[in-house]
Amino acid sequence: MHMFAFCVFLSFLALFQCTECPLGCQCSAATNTVRCVSKDLRSVPLSIPGYARTLVVTGNHIHRIGAGSFPELENLTNVCLSDNRISEVGSHTFSSMTRLRSLDLSLNRLALIHPEALSVPGSPLQELNLSRSLYNTTSLTDLAAALRWGGLAGLLRLDLSGNRPGLLAPATFSHLPSLQHLLLPHNSLVSVYSGAFSGLTRLTLLDLSHNAFRMFPDEALEEFGRLGPDARLLLGQNPYLCSCEIRGFVAWLNSSSVTPRLADPDELRCAAPRGLREARLRDVRGDAGCDSAPPAGRGEEADRLSLGTSYALLGLVLGLVVLVFLFVLYLNRRGMKQWITDMRDGCHDVLEGYHYRYDIDHDPRLGRMASGATAAAGSGHFGTAPSVRLPSDTRVDVQTPTEQVTV
Average of pLDDT values for 159-185?
Answer: 93
Q: Is the pLDDT of residue 396 over 70?
A: no
36 DSSP 8-state letter: E
Give the residue extent of every domain in the chain.
21-142, 156-291
Nearest to 292 by CA among 270, 275, 308: 275
Q: What is the pLDDT of residue 377?
A: 53
User: What pLDDT was estimated at residue 215?
Assistant: 92
Give the span between the Cα atoms of 92 and 113, in whole angstroms. 11
Superfamily name and number for 21-142: Ribonuclease Inhibitor (3.80.10.10)
In angstroms, what CA-CA distances link 242 with 108, 135, 295?
37, 34, 21
Largest CA distance in the chain: 153
Mean pLDDT is lowest, of 32-41, 278-287, 388-397, 398-407, for 398-407
Mean pLDDT, the chain, whole residue set:
83
- Mean pLDDT lowest for which of 217-231, 270-284, 349-363? 349-363
Q: How far apart are CA 349 and CA 31, in angstroms?
A: 104
List of residues 6+ apart from 127 with CB closer than 8 A? 101, 102, 103, 155, 156, 157
Asked if the domains at 21-142 and 156-291 fall in one CATH topology, the answer is yes
Can you give the pLDDT at residue 166? 86
Instruction: Spell out the residues 6+ positions from residue 206 whose beta carbon is closer than 8 angstroms to its own.
Output: 182, 184, 197, 224, 227, 231, 232, 233, 234
- Whether 137 has a pLDDT exceeding 70, the answer reads yes
pLDDT at 65 over 50: yes
Looking at residue 301, its pLDDT comes to 56
The three-class DSSP label of residue 304 is helix
Higher pLDDT, 165 or 210: 210
The tens digit of pLDDT for each residue in 250-286 reads 999 999 888 889 999 999 999 999 989 999 998 887 6
Q: How does pLDDT run across 141-155, given as a tens digit for each residue?
A: 999 999 999 999 999
| Sequence-ordered list of residues with C-beta below 8 angstroms from that of 174, at least 6 positions apart, any chain | 148, 195, 198, 199, 200
What confidence category does residue 302 fall into, taking pLDDT thresholds of 50, 70 and 90? low
Highest mean pLDDT among 15-24, 79-88, 246-255, 277-286: 79-88
Position 11 confidence tier, pLDDT thresholds 50, 70, 90: very low
Least confident of 39-53, 210-224, 369-383: 369-383
Residue 374, pLDDT score:
52
pLDDT band (50, 70, 90) for residue 351: confident
CATH second-level architecture of 156-291?
Alpha-Beta Horseshoe (3.80)
Peptide bond into 273 cis (omega under 30): yes
